Amino acid sequence: MLCFSICNRFISLKRQHVRPMRDQFERARREHDEFQAAARAHAGPQPLVYQFLADFRTITPVKAPTEVLERLLFERISIRGRALAAAVDLVGAIDGLDKSIIYRNDLIAEIQKEAPHAPAALAAKYFGLPTEEAVIDNKYPASVEAIHTQTDDCIFFSRVLADDLLEYGTKLRRRHVWRFRISLPKLGKADWSMAEDEGLLPQMEQYETWLRGFQKRPTLFRRLTDWVSSFWHRRA
């Protein structure tokens, strides 16, 4: 439940702030590229002037109970393998996202402090474009992309950890239920369908390299059935 709660916080952050921020940024960048193409093709006596609305709304960092999670995982539960790696990467992703959000907020304050800007100068800072002095400042677009990527990381690793802990707890319950002579409560599976329908869950393909490092070894029974199937296939 703790993992589900953490995952849900970052899903809400993505829904309310991160996805709209990135979508608006990408839309503004496409419009700027279209303007540049139109300006190069323009043959009129007056140059075209580009005006755009910069999205400088700040984001409040998400407070996640990582200390409680670490205490439960590393002191109370004997996890290993993929679940342990997901827990370590989740804590790192949460810390990285927190720093990226604060960094973007500081950048916004710095840009607003230097206002007003000429449209071309503001566009250079906002989109990371070369200035008249051939200087490229890519800090702001990099911060937008970092926040989007790290939010996906927080969602992915907390979801993987929740699913793996469910599998771990189910096996533990099955192994020890007879010892207590009572019916131990079953663990409920988290429902990610609503977030998936809204496109808020990152695609597994994004983490294919990470997932490839934790492929499960086939069981003895599976290896035996595969060998028998292969044997009869060769005989046929």
Convert the pLDDT of each residue in 93-103 to its tens digit: 999 999 999 99
State pTM to two decimals. 0.81
pLDDT, the chain, mean: 84
pLDDT per position as a tens digit, 12-39: 999 999 999 999 999 999 988 888 888 7
In the predicted model, is pLDDT for residue 8 greater than 90? yes
Under 8 Å between Cβ of 140 and 104:
yes
* Half-sphere exposure for 131 (CA within 13 Å, toward CB): 12
- Give the span between the Cα atoms of 164 and 82, in whole angstroms: 8
In the predicted model, is pLDDT for residue 92 greater than 90? yes
Question: What is the structure's pLDDT at 10?
Answer: 95
In which residue are the tokens 């007056």 written? 46
- Give the span between the Cα atoms of 161 and 80, in whole angstroms: 11
C-beta atoms surrounding 182 within 10 Å = 8
Percentages helix, strand, coil for the chain (3-state, rounded to 5) are 70, 0, 30
Distance between the two ends of the chain, CA-based, in angstroms? 51
Token duo for residue 92: 């790192």
